[in-house]
Structure 1
């Protein structure tokens, strides 16, 4: 019996790992398709080394690709910089969510753009490095996704590009609060949870005062904007460049984002 169960489990795992776009099943009811918007810069997009298990698909976790097609969610999820994109935090978050919600399918909508300052996440703004319009490009993607599902959360990791200058650090809080309000207004999702993650805090790269200021904005967010949470990055390590997390740290960060997300829901309970 034990051998038979193992064989069945192995077969199910093999089937999930070999999923293709043709195998994707979108739930008939939008309330059974829970969507998460992944936004920010490179540490949201992910720069970790992709390993074999990162390419393993889960039958209830999908990702919206560049052509607006739902596909099995495997790393890399993003496509902002195809030659360097890698493992991020999104898939681990989705795995935790799917485990907690066995009756639903999770839909990830990757929209992060490496190197983008928060000013790029405004209507009409151009990100010169990638020649893209992060905010304007994001809107049709999430709106297309919302035709099939319900937006359940927005995951944000960004700040490094604004922590190098006094001028940008000084207005970061105002811009972040405005961005959250804009997301909720434009997507008609006034109560959607928003989770911000902490920038990499690595021992061999001490923070400047400006980076501490941007971090303070992230940390204070739950006390200033309703239904928001903060995911810490303490103890995580970088991939060798002192900027981007390594793959194991991205996965751990995904767990932390999920815990932060859950804290918002828990606070709603009487």
Structure 2
């Protein structure tokens, strides 16, 4: 009887070892995301909106590339590992609601975010060979086998009246695609708040390059002269996701 009881216990242990999925591991996020997004730009991409209670909790299904080049559960502030570094402490930006919106459309995948924004920067500092571009490339190249799903770019007021902004933006997209060896890499550019001249140039990007789209920033609410409040950041992130979906639809139609 003792032998039979022992066999039963051993059999149960074998089942436990052979079937870990049955005990919750199926819901654990993958340690390697299926879709990876690079989020770059200025202070509203970094996030300046004050964090709300619960924002420091992990975002389900989303991973964040940390300062050691490893994936960890994503928590706000998402720009804290930027190697820019940022000129102020990052808080709540559009990456949170963007990732949630992408997951809502495709709940079976794990999302990876590489957030490397720098408040107060100009687009010239993001040109190939300049420090912010090269630092972002440094982070990307440190991830083995990385292939980006898309780049999200949010500018600021530093280039608000720059007549050459569109040309600089087109060059940035082309350089990223070439250096990452992804000629069709989707690129989503966000608008700055308000009716600034640079928005007119940003809206022309899809007419210059395929695989690009614009995330509108109509009527955002700010908590200071330049920075979107939390609700507007949530809306902006959702608009980035909608713009990404439009790029995918156009690609399917070709």
TMscore range, shorter length: 0.7 to 0.9
Contact 2:126/2:172 (<8 A) preserved: yes
Indicate whether 1:161 and 2:158 are aligned.
yes
Counterpart of 1:267 (choices 241, 250, 254) is: 250
1:134 aligns with 2:117: no
Q: Are 1:92 and 2:89 matched, yes or no?
A: no
TM-score by length of structure 2 reads 0.82
1:48 aligns with 2:45: no
- The equivalent of 2:173 in structure 1 is 180
Q: Is the 8 A contact 1:41 1:115 kept in 2?
A: yes
The answer to whether structure 1 residue 257 and structure 2 residue 250 are counterparts is no
> Contact 1:44 / 1:88 at 8 angstroms: preserved in 2?
yes
Deviation (angstroms), 1:223: 1.5
Contact 2:47 2:91 (8 Å CA) reproduced: yes
CA distance in 2, matches of 1:235, 1:163: 17
* Match for residue 81 of structure 1 among 86, 102, 118: 86
User: The residue matched to 2:188 in structure 1 has which SS?
Assistant: strand
How far apart, in 1, do the equivalents of 2:145 and 2:56 lie? 25
State the Cα deviation string for residues 23-61 of structure 1 (Å, max 9, x = none).
86414xxxx621000011111111011112212213420
Q: Deviations over 1:208-255 (max 9, x none)?
A: xxx31x11111111122111001111122001x120000111011000
Separation (CA, whole Å) in 2 of partners of 1:152 and 1:134 = 20
Structure 2 counterpart SS, 1:99: helix
Which consecutive residues of structure 1, in runs of 5 or more, have no partner in the other structure?
1-11, 17-22, 126-132, 202-206
Tell me the TM-score normalized by structure 1.
0.77
Runs of 4 or more above 6 Å deviation: none
Flag the 1:223–1:82 CA change in 2: closer, same or farther, 3 A: closer
d(CA) in 1 for partners of 2:86, 2:170: 27
C-alpha contact 1:24 1:71 (8 A) present in aligned 2: no
The alpha-carbon deviation at position 199 of structure 1 amounts to 0.2
Q: How many residues align?
A: 224
Mark the CA change 1:24 to 1:264 in structure 2 (over 3 Å): closer, same or farther: closer
1:234 to 218, 228, 249: 218
In the alignment, is residue 66 of structure 1 matched against residue 38 of structure 2?
no
Cα deviation for residue 149 of structure 1 reads: 4.5
Cα-to-partner distance string for 1:101-145 (whole Å, 9 max, x where unaligned): 2222110001111111011012332xxxxxxx2111100212233
Paired with 1:83 and 1:226, the residues of 2 have a C-alpha distance of 34
Unpaired stretches in structure 2, ≥5 consecutive residues: 1-23
1:244 aligns with 2:244: no
Rounded to whole Å, the distance in 2 between the matches of 1:222 and 1:124 is 25
1:150 is aligned to 2:147: yes
For the residue of structure 2 that corresponds to 1:139, the secondary structure is helix
User: Could you tell me whether the CA contact under 8 Å between 2:37 and 2:114 is conserved in 1?
Assistant: yes
Structure 1 or 2, whichever has the larger Rg, is 2
1:198 aligns with 2:206: no
SS at match of 1:48: coil
Q: Distance in 1 between matches of 2:73 and 2:88?
A: 20
Q: Is the 8 A contact 2:65 2:71 kept in 1?
A: yes
